Amino acid sequence: MHSRRLRKFLDGLGHPTGAELLMYSDGELSGRKTRHVRSHLHHCWQCRLELEKIGHAISDFMDSRNVEASQFPPPLKWSRFGLLLRLATAGDITSRPLWNLWPQFPRRGVAAASVALVAAALWLHFSSVAPVSANDLLSRAETSEIKAAQGVNNPVLYRKIDFRFRSSSRQAGQAGAIESWTGLKLLPAHHRSSAPFWPQFESVLRRNRMGGHPLLSAAAFAEWRNSLPGRRDNVSRGKWRDGREAITLRTVAHGLTGPGTILESTLMVRVEDWRTVQQSVRVQGEADIQEYELAEISAVVTPMSSLDASIFGTPRTEVPSRPAAPLSSTVPARLPANGSADTEIQVRYLLHRIRACLGEDIAVASNSSGRVSVDGIVESSARKEELLAALSQIATLEMRIRTFDELRPAASPVPRALALRTPAGAPAVESSVPPIERALKGRVSGSRILELSNSAVSLSESWMAESWALRRLESGFSAEKVDKLSGAGRKMLAEMVRDHASAILAGVSASEAEFRPYAAPEAVTSQESNADAAAWPVSVRSLFDAATGAADLVRALCTGSGPSADAPADPIRTLDTALLEARAAAVRVRDNADTIPRPVTAPK
Amino acid sequence: MQSEAVRELKDCWGQVARGELAESADLERAVGEVFVVLRDPIYRYVFSTVRNAGDAEDLTQETFIRLLRDLRRGHAIENVKAWLFRVAHNLVIDFSRRAPVPESLDAAANQRMTEGVPDPSPSAEERALDSASRCRLLRSLAPQERRCMELRAEGLRYREIAEILGIKIPTVQTTLDRAIRKIVEQRNA
C-alpha cells in the first residue's frame, strides 16, 4: 500500500514521453493516462512547450499538405466514374454466394440440404429460370449502348428497324421500316419512317413515358416499367430470329387502362453483346388491341461529324446553292387555275404529311413565272421514292430530288464511321457543371439529374425542329400570299400550323411536367395574350421566339453550354417560366389555327 | 454528410446481405454517394504516394469500383472509410511495384511544365521558396511516416491506421512520434 502511493508520487514527478503527448493530443490515451497527462500539464511548463511544438509540427504538416493539394488538386469532374460504375455493375452480375445470404445460419448443414434441393429445382425448371433479373438485364443492355459509344467522337447510333403493326380488328398486318439516329451523348433521338402507323406509334410512346428516347432502348423500357403502378415480369431465354441466343423480358402492366395505354411490352436482348434487338408493344386501342413490333435490321455507331446536320432537325432557312445537276425527275409544269400559292401550300402539305418538313434538306420555292419547285437531297433512294410518290399527284411541279449517292457518287449515306476514332491526345472537352445539376444536387440523385437533363434536351430538340418548320411556313407565306390562297389552301395551312403547335405543346408540356416538381411553389403566370398576338404571322413568330428561347435555355441549363451563358439564380424557376410562356404561346396558336391564316390587313 | 452517405451504404449492404436488395441500382447509387464524399481524401492519400494525377485518379476510381464489387458479392464492410483506405493503400503498393514513382513532387511539377500544362503554383519568389521548403518537409518523411501522417490527417484512429497499413498499433504510435520529431527538427533548422 505504502509502496503503491510512493510509485504514484514518483510517476507524478516524471514527464510524459513525446509519443504520450502526441497520443494525448490525438485522444488516443486511456482515461487514466489522459487524466494523468492533463494534471501533469497543469504544472509543467516544459511539457506544455513540448505539446505546443507538436501542435506546430502538425500545423506545418497540414500546411505543407494543403500546398501540395493546391498544386495537384483532385479532378473537378470525375466524368468517367459514373460510366465505370455502371460497367462494373453490369460486368459483375454474378449470383451472390448463398453463404452470404444466410450469415446467421450454420452454413454447412443448411447449405448442403439446400444445394441439393435448389439443384433439383433448377434442373427441373432450367428452361424458365432467368440467368439475370429484369433489372440486371436492363442494366446490361443500357451499358451495352454506352460501350458501343466508347472511342467514337460524339457518337450517333444509326439503326434500321423492321416495323410491324397488327390490330385485333383487322385480318392483315402492316409492315414498314424505321431509320433511327440516336445521339449517345446528349443528342436527341431522331426517327424517320414512311409507315402510316408510325405517327400513331409515336404518340403511344409519348403517352407511356417512352417518348424522346431512342427506339429499342432499354432505358426507355425501364422508364416505362418503373412508371407502372403494378407489373409482372418474366425473363426467359430463347433465340432471336438469326438463331443467336437471346434473353427476353416480358413486362405486363397492371392498373392502367384507357386507349393508348401500353398493356404489355417485350424486350429481347442478344446475349452475345447485350444489345436490344427486338421489342414488341401491346396497346389498348379505342376498340381493339394493337400490336407493334420493332426488330433491328442493322446498326452502326458513327461520329456526329460524319452525318448530315439536317438529320437531327437542324433548321435550314434557305436552300444552299448547289452545282447545277440534271433533273432526276421532272414533271411537266402546268399551273393550276388558282395560281402558284395554292400549289405551293399543297406541296408543303404533302411534305408535312410525310414529315419532310422537320429539317430535312428539302426546299419548296416558287419562281417569278409562278412555277413551284421542290429541291432536296435525301438520305436514301427509298426516301426519294417516298417523296416522289407523295408529290406525284401534283402535275405542275418541278422536282429535283437527289440522294447522296447521286450527288456524290463516292460518298456513302451511312458513313463508315466505325473506323473513325478520336485522335490520340486530342484535348478532352471540359464543360462547367450544368446549372440544373447545381440546382438539383442534394435534392435528387445524380442519375435522376442526368435522366432529367437528357430527357429535356431531347424534347427541346424535337420542339425546336417543329418550331423551325412552323417558322419556315410562316416566312414562306406572307400576309399577301395568304390572301391569295383559296379556302382549301387556307385549310391546309391551318392544319399544318395546328400540327406543329400541338407538337411543340406536347414537348414543352412534357418538359414542364418533368421539372415542375422541383420548381419553387410560387404561382407562375404567363404573359397575357392580346388581340394582335393571335394574328398571322405575329402569333407564329411569338411562338417561335418562345419555343426556341425555351429550347436554348434547356440546352444552356442542362448541358452547361449554349447562348445563355449566365446561369440564373434559380435555374428551375427560370426554366419553368420559359416553358410556361412557350406552352401558352403554343396553346394560343393551336387553338386559333383556323383563324390565324386570316391576316390582319392595315386599314386603308 | 459523410456519415450520412456511409450510413446509407451500410443500410444498403445490410439489405444485400439479407437478400432484400436484389437490385444493383440502389447499391450503385449508394456507392456513388460515398464516392462523392470520400473521393478527395482517397485521392490525396493515393497521390501522396504515386505523385501522378492521372494515376491517382485511376487508382481512386478503382478503389470505389472494388467497393461496389465487394458489396455485390455480399461481403460485410463494417468500417467503409477504413476499408476504402486499405484498398487504396494496397492498390498503391501494387502500382508502385509495377511503375516507378517520381522522385519528388518537384519532379512531378516539372513533368507538368514539360507537358505544357500551366503550373498553378504561385509565381512570386517568396511563395516559391515557401512552397519548396514545404515540399522538403514532406520529403523528409519516410514513406511509412508519410502514410501514417496522411491517414491521421484524414481523421483515422491509430487502430484504423494499423489495420490499413497492416502494422501494429504501437508501431503507428512510434512512427507518428518519429514523423513529428522530424518536422520539429526541420522547423528548428
**Can you give the pLDDT at residue A49?**
92
Selected residue with higher pLDDT from A409 and B167? B167
pLDDT by residue (tens digit) across A26-35? 999 888 889 8
Three-class DSSP category at A24: helix
At A400 the pLDDT is 81
Looking at per-residue confidence, does A536 or B127 come out higher? A536
Q: In the prediction, which pLDDT does A557 show?
A: 79
Phi, psi of A343 (to 5 degrees): -60, -45
- Nearest Cα neighbor of A137 from A295, A294, A251, A253 is A251
Cβ of A162: how many Cβ atoms within 10 Å?
Answer: 15
Rounded to whole angstroms, how far apart are CA atoms A316 and A476?
A: 13
Residue with cell 444493383: B24
Classify residue A288 by its DSSP letter.
Answer: S
Q: What share of chain A is helix, strand, coil (3-state, %, to 5)?
A: 50, 15, 35
Instruction: Test B186 with A61 for CB contact under 8 angstroms.
Output: no
Cα separation, A201 vs A167, in Å, equals 12
Over range B104-131, report the average pLDDT: 48
In degrees, rounded to 5, the angle at the alpha carbon of residue B88 between the alpha carbons of residues B82 and B89 is: 90
Q: List CB contacts (< 8 A) between A67 and chain B.
A: 130-131, 134-135
Query: In chain A, which residues have their Cβ closer than 8 Å to the Cβ of B31?
Result: 85
Distance CA A515, CA A459 (A): 13
Mean pLDDT of B136-160: 89
Count each helix (H run) and each strand (E run) in chain A, helices first: 19, 12
Interface test with chain A among B13, B15, B31, B61, by most A beta carbons within 10 Å = B61
Average pLDDT over residues A295-324: 56
Alpha-carbon distances of A332 from A389, A391, A395, B152, rounded to whole Å:
16, 13, 7, 88
| pTM of the predicted structure, to 2 decimals | 0.38
What's residue B104's pLDDT?
47
Cβ atoms A328, A402 nearer than 8 A: yes
More confident residue, B30 or A42: A42
HEC string for A388-454: HHHHCCCCCCEEEEEEHHHHCCCCCCCCCHHHCCCCCCCCCCCCCCCHHHHHHECCECHHHHHHHHH
Among the residue ranges A270-279, A407-416, A495-504, B178-187, the one predicted with the least confidence is: A407-416
DSSP symbol at A275: E
Instruction: Round to the nearest angstrom and report the end-to-end CA distance of chain B.
Output: 41
Contact B40 A97 (CB under 8 A): no
Query: With an 8 Å Cβ cutoff, are A97 and B74 in contact?
Result: yes
pLDDT tens, residue by residue, A33-77: 898 888 888 888 989 999 999 999 999 899 888 877 777 778 776
All three cell numbers of B123: 509565381
By residue count, chain B amounts to 189
Residue of A nearest to B14 (CA): A101
Residue B162 has pLDDT above 90, yes or no: yes
Residue A17 with chain B: CB contacts under 8 Å: 177
Residue A150: all three cell numbers together: 466508347
Q: Which of A52, A76, A78, A83 to mutate to test the interface with B (most CBs of B within 10 A)?
A: A78
Kindly report, residue by residue over B62-72, the tens digit of the pLDDT: 899 888 888 77
- Which of A17, A88, A101 has the CB atom closest to B69's CB atom? A88
Say whether pLDDT at A283 is over 70: yes
Residues 132-161, chain B: which have Cβ within 8 Å of A?
134-135, 137-138, 149-150, 152-153, 157-158
Contacts of B119 in chain A (CB under 8 A): 71
Contact at CB, B24 and A139, closer than 8 angstroms: yes
Interface of B with A in 57-86 (CB under 8 A): 57, 60-61, 64-65, 68-69, 72-76
Q: Tens digit of pLDDT for each residue in A343-378?
A: 888 888 888 877 788 777 787 877 767 778 888 877
Distant-in-sequence contacts of B107-110, Cβ < 8 A, 24+ apart: B107/B51, B108/A72, B108/B51, B108/B52, B109/A71
Q: Cα separation of B134 and B183, whole Å?
A: 10
Going by pLDDT thresholds of 50, 70 and 90, the confidence category of residue B14 is low
Q: Where are the beta strands (DSSP E) in A467-536?
A: none
Considering CB atoms only, which of B60, B157, B181 is closest to A18?
A: B181
pLDDT, residue A522, reads 54
Q: What percent of chain A stands above pLDDT 70? A: 69
| Residues A395, A347: Cα–Cα separation, whole Å | 11
pLDDT at A9: 58
The pLDDT of residue A166 is above 80: yes
Q: Which of B33, B68, B61 is nearest to B46 (CA)?
A: B61
